[in-house]
């Protein structure tokens, strides 16, 4: 599904060029459930941003379904993200002046894609599946952290993505809610075949996935 070949990522700070990712090659296959583990500053979030087409590599090649997408324009990358990718973040990234239902619908509303289904009906179905339908008219700051993350996952699914990237999805949750969120992502992978990639620094979270990758100082290392 996604293949990275010899990916490097540099940032320029003043007169200095800092390499964040060093010659990374990996493959994420369709319907996989993968954990990317590393300490803070290891480069794991930068790697996720590149795999999720939020950022571009300095060097290397990215293949999506065997097609080279390494040097697409911003508009082309945006189209790829809309078609293929959903995101779940540690901070939830919900818009507090929109209701839960409006937050879930938002990516589809702003998309140029034509849908064969009712956006509102699908959003309601997702909220029902995640047991938060009764909160559909609430603002995000009026529901719990665990409920906010469920809303974020529903929002990630509204466009029917083939892959979801979850960046520290349990980082702002207590252990009970964190466990529920990981189980929910596991169900999406198992029951619906959605490819899931979780980025985390927590070993017990990574161990919930079916395959683990480890990154240290911007380099993939063996377990």
Q: Return the domain boundaries, the chain.
A: 2-221
- How many angstroms separate the CA atoms of 217 and 23, rounded? 12
Cβ proximity of 22 and 74 under 8 Å: no
Which ranges of the chain have pLDDT less than 50? Answer: none
Tell whether domain 2-221 is in CATH 3.40.50.300: yes
Please count the other Cβ atoms lying within 10 Å of the Cβ belonging to residue 184: 17
pLDDT of residue 73: 85
pLDDT of residue 38: 92
DSSP label at residue 191: H
- How many angstroms separate the CA atoms of 19 and 209, rounded? 29
pLDDT of residue 184: 93
Using alpha carbons, list the distances in angstroms from residue 81 to 48, 87, 127, 142, 144.
13, 10, 22, 30, 28
pLDDT of residue 115: 79
pLDDT of residue 223: 57
DSSP reduced 3-state for 218: coil
Cβ proximity of 31 and 211 under 8 Å: no
- How many angstroms separate the CA atoms of 64 and 85, rounded? 11
pLDDT of residue 161: 92
pLDDT of residue 6: 97
pLDDT of residue 219: 96
- How many angstroms separate the CA atoms of 121 and 222, rounded? 45
Name the pTM for this structure.
0.91
- How many angstroms separate the CA atoms of 157 and 103, rounded? 12
pLDDT of residue 222: 72
């Amino acid at each position: 599904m996604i293949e990275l070949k010899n990916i490097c990522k540099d940032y320029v700070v003043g007169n200095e060029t800092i390499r964040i990712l060093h010659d990374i090659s990996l493959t994420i296959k369709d319907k996989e459930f993968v954990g990317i583990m590393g300490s803070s500053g290891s480069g794991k979030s930068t790697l996720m941003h590149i795999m999720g087409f939020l950022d571009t590599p300095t060097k290397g090649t990215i293949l999506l379904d065997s097609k080279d997408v390494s040097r697409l324009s911003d508009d082309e990358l945006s189209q790829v993200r809309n078609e293929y990718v959903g995101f779940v973040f540690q901070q939830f990234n919900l818009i507090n002046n929109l209701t839960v239902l409006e937050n879930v619908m938002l990516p589809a509303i702003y998309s140029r894609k034509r849908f064969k289904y009712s956006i509102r009906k699908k959003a309601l179905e997702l909220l029902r599946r995640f047991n938060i339908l009764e909160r559909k008219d609430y603002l995000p700051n009026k529901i719990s952290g665990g409920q906010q993350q469920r809303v974020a996952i529903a929002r990630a699914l509204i466009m029917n993505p083939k892959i979801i990237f979850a960046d520290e999805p349990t980082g702002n949750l207590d252990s009970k809610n964190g466990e529920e969120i990981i189980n929910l992502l596991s169900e999406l992978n198992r029951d619906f075949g959605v490819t899931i990639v979780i980025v985390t620094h927590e070993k017990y979270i990574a161990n919930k996935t079916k395959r683990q990758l480890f990154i240290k100082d911007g380099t993939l290392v063996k377990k």
